[in-house]
């Protein structure tokens, strides 16, 4: 028997890429590859890339520069670029980086086995199609090996929203939902492999329409799976939060009280320019309705500062919205011009203005985040333990509210949801004691 080939996958960007990296590794498993976590040991290196902001996209070219040295040492090493940069700039990558053997987009990676064979035969391979055949039909069933207790499951891809700043509708294409029966089968397989928490993924996951009852219908069916204890979903658009999904937050016990609901800005003028198709007031009303269904729900959002045309008053409107909502968690970014998007044509704000606004916005968000974390002290929360911590005897897990929690617990706690009394709140995690 020949020794297995080794595959090193480096994942950038969002959770959907994390999921795709797993599926690519599984697809190449059929070609005799096993995963390695060491690049210098690999026969194939795949960079699964992100195109959402300029900085993310630039990382690919600097990483390729570093990989040149490895290819000099091992000329048989094959290098591939996958993900959204591959989709957006595939031909340019092939031109600019002769060391790249393979470029594959997010919708065509089920063809990796054939591409690998071509590459092994000395060819270079590029596939950034949006093929008619569904990659999920071609990909094999997921391996039955024991898994970590929390897993991602992509149920929806692409986006039809066309926010003026965003490349996703171009790199990931139109919205497509996987049929509910396939998702349920994959979920059952994951649970059989030891998974107790599933996060449903989609670029616009609450627009899911692979089930008659939409995302709420899918969640209710998933909740019937014995052994699956927690369900989450991300990322959602405010305009797709329908009544059924809001109701599910109120009465579906397995649906966790945490919702990532990006608003981007609190200024109606900016929301309009961003093509978000809702106002700040509508967002606030929606939050009120969701919180009426699930009062302890923790909200999270994405924010963009310095979108073209943003005035001080627009920025202050965002700060006001943040004060009104109180977010438990948030991601915030300076606006980054993306080629091919409508906003790319507009005059940019000075870097200094963006930096100053971002710092103020992040300070407010951090303050809110810490206040909510401090408020957890003394409460008892349920924690899904995932792995050992850095201190001997300690285990780390996630609370219902997605806070990282560490507590002294037996190794056997991994995979179990156990009550923990929170005793301390640090900047990034909570400490607690297991309740016997």
**What DSSP designation does 413 have?**
G
Selected from 26, 302, 356, 433, the binder of ligand 5AD by CB under 6 A is 302
The interface partner of residue 171, options being ligand SF4, ligand 5AD, none and the CB cut-off 5 to 8 Å by kind, is none
Selected from 163, 191, 218, 245, the binder of ligand SF4 by CB under 6 A is 163
Selected from 5, 23, 51, 53, the binder of ligand 5AD by CB under 6 A is 53
The interface partner of residue 338, options being ligand 5AD, ligand SF4, none and the CB cut-off 5 to 8 Å by kind, is ligand 5AD
The interface partner of residue 109, options being ligand SF4, ligand 5AD, none and the CB cut-off 5 to 8 Å by kind, is none
Residue 369 touching ligand 5AD (CB under 6 A): no
Site for ligand SF4, residues 228 to 267, rule: CB under 6 A: 237
What's the closest the beta carbon of residue 46 comes to ligand 5AD, in angstroms? 22
DSSP 245-310: HHHHHHH-TTB-SEEE---B-S-HHHHHHTT--S-HHHHHHHHHHHHHH-TTPEEEEEEEE--TT-
Q: Find where tokens 């591959």 sit.
A: 86
Comparing CA positions, the residue from 331, 329, 305 lying closest to residue 316 is 305
What's the closest the beta carbon of residue 333 comes to ligand 5AD, in angstroms? 4
Distance CA 271, CA 56 (A): 24
Token pair in block for residue 238: 């405010």
Residue 304 touching ligand 5AD (CB under 6 A): yes
Residue 159 touching ligand SF4 (CB under 6 A): yes
What's the closest the beta carbon of residue 288 comes to ligand 5AD, in angstroms? 22
How deeply is 398 buried, as exposed, middle or buried, from its count of CB atoms within 10 A (0-12, 13-18, 19+)?
A: buried
Q: Which is nearer to ligand SF4, 52 or 115 (CB)?
A: 52
Residue 125 touching ligand SF4 (CB under 6 A): no
Q: Find where tokens 């970014």 sit.
A: 333
- Do 87 and 51 contact (CB within 8 A), yes or no? yes
Token pair in block for residue 145: 């090996």
Beta strands 394-399 and 380-388, pairing class? antiparallel
Distance CA 398, CA 382 (A): 8
Residue nearest to ligand 5AD (CB): 302
Residue 52 touching ligand 5AD (CB under 6 A): yes
Selected from 338, 357, 398, 406, the binder of ligand 5AD by CB under 6 A is 338
Q: Which is nearer to ligand 5AD, 102 or 273 (CB)?
A: 273
- What crossing angle do the helices spanning 15-29 and 83-96 adopt, rounded to 10°? 70
Q: Find where tokens 């009465």 sit.
A: 251
Tell me, by CB under 6 A, how many residues bind ligand 5AD: 12
Distance CA 105, CA 2 (A): 30
Residues that bind ligand SF4 (CB under 6 A): 159, 161-163, 166, 168-169, 203-204, 237
Residues that bind ligand 5AD (CB under 6 A): 52-53, 165-166, 262, 264, 302, 304, 333, 335-336, 338
């Amino acid at each position: 028997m020949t020794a297995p080939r080794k595959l090193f996958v480096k994942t950038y960007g969002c959770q959907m890429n994390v999921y795709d990296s797993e599926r690519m590794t599984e697809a190449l498993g059929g070609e005799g590859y096993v995963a390695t976590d060491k690049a210098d040991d690999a026969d194939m290196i795949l960079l699964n890339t992100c195109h959402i902001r300029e900085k993310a996209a630039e990382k690919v070219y600097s990483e390729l520069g570093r990989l040149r040295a490895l290819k000099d040492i091992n000329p048989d090493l094959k290098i591939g670029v996958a993900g959204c940069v591959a989709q957006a700039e595939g031909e340019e990558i092939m031109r600019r980086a002769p060391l790249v053997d393979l470029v594959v987009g997010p919708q065509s990676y089920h063809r990796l086995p054939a591409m690998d064979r071509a590459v092994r035969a000395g060819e270079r391979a590029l596939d950034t199609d949006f093929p008619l055949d569904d990659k999920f039909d071609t990909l094999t069933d997921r391996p039955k090996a024991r898994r970590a207790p929390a897993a991602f499951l992509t149920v929806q891809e692409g986006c039809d929203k066309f926010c003026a700043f965003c490349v996703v509708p171009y790199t990931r294409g139109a919205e497509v939902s996987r049929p509910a029966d396939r998702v349920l089968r994959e979920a059952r397989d994951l649970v059989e492999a030891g998974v107790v928490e599933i996060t449903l993924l989609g670029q616009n996951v609450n627009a899911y329409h692979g089930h008659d009852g939409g995302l709420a219908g899918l969640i209710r069916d998933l909740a019937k799976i014995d052994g699956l204890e927690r369900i989450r979903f991300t990322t959602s658009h405010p305009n797709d939060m329908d009544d059924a999904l809001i109701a599910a937050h109120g009465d579906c016990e397995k649906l966790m009280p945490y919702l990532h609901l990006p608003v981007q800005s609190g200024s109606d003028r900016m929301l309009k320019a961003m093509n978000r198709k809702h106002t700040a007031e509508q967002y606030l009303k929606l939050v009120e309705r969701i919180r009426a269904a699930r009062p302890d729900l923790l909200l999270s959002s994405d924010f963009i500062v310095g979108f073209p045309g943003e005035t001080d008053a627009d920025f202050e409107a965002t700060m006001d919205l943040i004060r009104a909502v109180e977010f438990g968690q948030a991601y915030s970014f300076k606006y980054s011009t993306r080629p091919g998007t409508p906003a790319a044509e507009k005059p940019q704000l000075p870097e200094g203005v963006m930096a100053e606004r971002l710092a103020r916005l992040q300070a407010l968000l951090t303050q809110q985040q810490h206040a909510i974390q401090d408020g957890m002290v003394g409460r008892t929360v349920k924690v899904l333990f995932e792995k050992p911590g850095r201190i001997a005897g300690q285990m780390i897990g996630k609370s219902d509210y997605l806070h990282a929690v560490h507590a002294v617990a037996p190794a056997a706690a991994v995979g179990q949801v156990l009550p923990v009394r929170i005793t301390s709140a640090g900047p990034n995690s909570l400490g607690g004691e297991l309740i016997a």
